[in-house]
Amino acid sequence: MEAEPPPERHRDQPSTSGGLGYFHLRLHAAGAPVLLLLRSDRLYSLSFSRRRGPRLRLLASPGRHHSRRRLRRDPVLSTSGCVVRLTHCFSSDDAVRVNGRPLLRGRCPVDLAVGDEVSLLRRGARYGFSVEKFVSCEGPEFVAAEPCGEVLVLRAESLLKRLRAISESHDPLSFLRDSNCAETCSEDVPVKRAREDDFLPLNTPINPIAEENLPLEHCNLDQGKLEQCTDAAIAKEGIDESIQGTKGCSNGNTEQKDCSNGNTEQQYNEGCYSDGSTFFLNRLTGFGPATRVEKQSGVTLPQLLHPVDSLERVFIATFTSDVSWFLDYCKVPQNLPVTIACHNKERCWSASQESRTATPFGSYPNLLLVYPQFPEEIAFGKDRKKQGVACHHPKLLVLQRKDSMRIVVTSANLVPRQWYLITNTVWWQDFPCRSSPDYSALFSKAEEPKSDFASQLVSFIAFLVNEVPSQSYWINEIAKYNFEGAAGYLIASVPGIYAHRPHYLESNYCLSRKQILRTKLAHRVFLGFVQTSVVGLSHRFHMPSDAGSKLKALSVLLSKCHVNMHGTTEVILKRNTNIPADANAVSVLVADLDKFTEEDSVHLGFLPREVAKWVSPLSDLGFFKFSGFIYPKEALEAAYGVTNTKVQLLLHVSKGAEFSQISGLIQDEHLPLLCSLLASLKRSLGLWRLEEVLSHFKWPETLETDFFYSASSIGTSINPQFIASFASAAGKRSNPDLESEESDPEWGCWTTNHELKKPSINLLFPTIDRVKNGACGIQLSRHLFSLPERTWQRLRSTGIFRDAIPHPYHRIGHPMHVKVAQRRFRSRLGRHSFGWTYCGSHNFSPAAWGHILPPPKANPSEVRAVSSGPRLHICNYELGIILIVPPSSMSKQTSGRRREINDIALPFVVPPPQYKPGDRPATSLAMREAMAEASILQSNDLVDLSEDTDEDLPNEDNDDEHLIELSDCSPEEKEEEKIYAETLWEQVDSSQSQEMDQNDH
């Protein structure tokens, strides 16, 4: 844009004492930063559009008059010499900030000099600008004037901001270490470095980046060009997002290092690398210009998929998803097989298997949406129409290539705002391809927990796709890769009610296609167990004709059966190949195993159809062996009609004769069967999985320095009992004596009484003031954080709440959606730190980690022989990763620099500061009140705040305190199971009658 000759002065124009010139203003808003030129003899207004963002309008120039109404609504910019004057009529004291300080009402106009920064709040969103430069147009050529001492101003402003940030920081040493202040404050720093310096973000990331040689015609003073720039912003579901996203992994041909926190080097134009020993953060791209720190900090979604053309398959698990955005943003090829498991309130709770999948895009024929099912036992009142507190909440990406498989565990959902605007954690590791598939790796080894990465991964995916046979090929694909080098431990949660089960049950008989087969224990390799039931028992023993004799025979046999230390007795599983109704039917027989004869056994019932359909063929193929165990008194109660609940049956699973040959023998039609088995095998989940992993290490209580958990949601039913359960599972012990050991596993465990006397953990949650002062005000956070007011009131006196301050400092003002826990220790001599760190999708709630339920209530007249231990009730699907730096005495590292827990850079300030007097967390009530205040401030142009959210918030009205009541009853036999069993009984009786007639003849 060429300079204009000085025009005749208009009566409404401001006077200028410095001659004609141009002010360089850097507009900081969503999307790319815009450099604006303001003539020193003009009057401008800075308006805000919900669709197009901030816009600059020329109000006073020759032949034009400004609108009085516009002057009343929008800030006005006028000039005087080398000063820009800001005039505004906002009613809120916090609506305008200059250099981070609120501009009180009545304190306008205000004069701005070079280096000043302004932040404005308009319609619930913050935007702003900085005064970069004044260029005088006097004389024959443009001469860059420095009437205000540009270099000195920039340096002074930089120093002032840093000194203010240091004085206000809760951890000045960490701030100084991370901000490279020494380099910034050097006397030799040139003007360009001073301009490019990473100033502390105030409320919107305002970091001027000079463009010394930028042609004037490219400076976007023209209104059309300015609007064209803001048109690139995207509006999502009625909420302004104004996002200018990165469309690839490269920034030109520039080599950029440090994917996140300086631990790993990588080039953006070649994707990203991680050895799995730490986690990273996503790159924030939604506000203002990308500073040098931001360009070198964080990973993007396209980087994780790069190079996308080499991908063979993709599996994604997420809570919410914007699939069309993902396909476009990551340039996903149209024929690439992509499976996305996501949450849908109607589909996930539907009893119809046909509703489990959807193919939304005809142009992507290999893209399939899967909606994992929630079991009836976690529904309120065991009625699917009364849905429980549950959601499919993991954030997982499995990226398969020919030579490697990348596993990504993140806290970000598959939606743009969480990758652009909100801080999330991202962990990933690449695993090499094997020369041949290894199916034994798909089954956990309790004695070697680190080797169970593959089994935990495949089990979790099997849970999600078990009802979608076409997706069972993922089981086979995972077996092709080597996960033995995993740097962390997967922690999964799956909805259901679980009881502690024995790792091994001694059995003598297993299912056989031919005759009932007695096995030799020496040749059996235990793989796990499946919890199922016996169906048809009530029909068999309630028939008037022979109910008495059958009951008497059952009582006699059960009294002779050997009951093991777990309270169970072995039963006989028999294939019924002569039943037309189901060729896979399996009978359950009770017999005296020491003197077994089939004639003297009692037919108790059958395996459920859904279990028999994969148990029988896998046994027939010789891949696996199955044995059965029941609780004898529970069977008697059901037979006598004392209870109508299902009779539990534990399937003991071991390697079959052909197990080692699976890779050569398995066919495509066998994969759904194997998927069902893997989904049914019982593994430790939630709190019990956390305990399983961390119990392999001794954590010295006296050396603990920190134990904290940062989450975007804290459950409604959080209380000292749950906190104590979590602390105990995490390795917290009441006895600090490291050398003391007792045979009782409960000895020394952290209990509720210990928690009440001395809280074990600090909970990080942002204050309401921090949320209100965010880069977009409360708009971006209002559906992101969840802390019920009653939970805060219940726990506020414990002093466990800490403020969640984003780190590093350039993330201040951006909400955190992280779920990070860490327990840290320092060696006795203070030479090194160790401990463990969790990151993933688990919020701090019983719905995510599980609620420990008391044992089932005993019948007053009978002592039930069911498992008497506690049960774990989990509502959500969740997935996370635990990274462990063990104590030096347990470390296997023999050379090189010793890893430390402090090497893992956390996304918040540590140690987290305690709430100050008067601080209040961003509870649901506080957020509603803040939104009401924002609505009052925006009364002239209200923002619609009623739209649905795509953030992962369980409804607070679904109080998970009801979980104890709804899950304190055992499941009953379903009507379809009764019909199935009755059909089998009729055909078994008919077959036996025909055999007896043939024997008589």
User: What does DSSP assign to residue 600?
Assistant: G
Count CA within 13 A, CB hemisphere, residue 160: 13
Which residue type sits at 661? Q
Range 794-828 burial, b when 16+ CB lie within 10 A, else e: ebeeeebbbbbbbbbbbbbbbbbbbbbbbbbbbee
Annotation says 696 is catalytic: no
Residue bearing tokens 């042609």: 215
| Dist. CA 712–CA 133, nearest whole Å | 41
Annotation says 393 is catalytic: yes
List, in order, residues 6 or more apart from 734 with CB less than 8 Å away.
Answer: 748, 749, 750, 751, 754
User: What does DSSP assign to residue 974?
Assistant: P
Q: What is the largest CA-CA distance in the chain?
A: 127
Q: Helix 671-680 and helix 453-465: axis angle, to 10°?
A: 110
Residue bearing tokens 């004799």: 549
Query: Other C-beta atoms within 10 Å of 35: how many?
Result: 21
Residue 422 near residue 329 (C-beta atoms within 8 A): no
| Dist. CA 289–CA 295, nearest whole Å | 10
Which residue type sits at 286? G
Query: Other C-beta atoms within 10 Å of 156: how many?
Result: 13
HEC string of 523-589?
HCCEEEEEEEEEECHHHHHCCCCCHHHHHHHHHHHHHHCCCCCCCCEEEEEEECCCCCCCCCCEEEE
Query: Other C-beta atoms within 10 Å of 217: how many?
Result: 11
End-to-end CA gap in the chain: 111
CA 850 distance to own-chain centroid? 16
Length of the chain: 1001
| Dist. CA 287–CA 32, nearest whole Å | 8
Residue 978 assigned ligand-binding role: no
HEC string of 688-743?
HHHHHHHCCCCCCHHHEEEEEEECCEECCCCCHHHHHHHHHHCCCECCCCCCCCCC
Q: Which of 392, 393, 754, 842 is catalytic?
A: 393
- Peptide bond between residue 788 and the one before it cis (omega within 30 degrees of 0): no
Q: Tokens standing for 8?
A: 């005749």
Count CA within 13 A, CB hemisphere, residue 607: 30
| Dist. CA 454–CA 432, nearest whole Å | 12
Which residue type sits at 428? W
Strands (E), 848-973: 851-853, 871-874, 878-885
The closest alpha carbon to 21, from 43, 45, 44, 37, belongs to 37
Residue 646 assigned ligand-binding role: no
List, in order, residues 6 or more apart from 141 with CB less than 8 Å away.
Answer: none
Binding site as annotated, residues for substrate: 395, 819
Binding site as annotated, residues: 395, 819
Active site residues: 393, 817
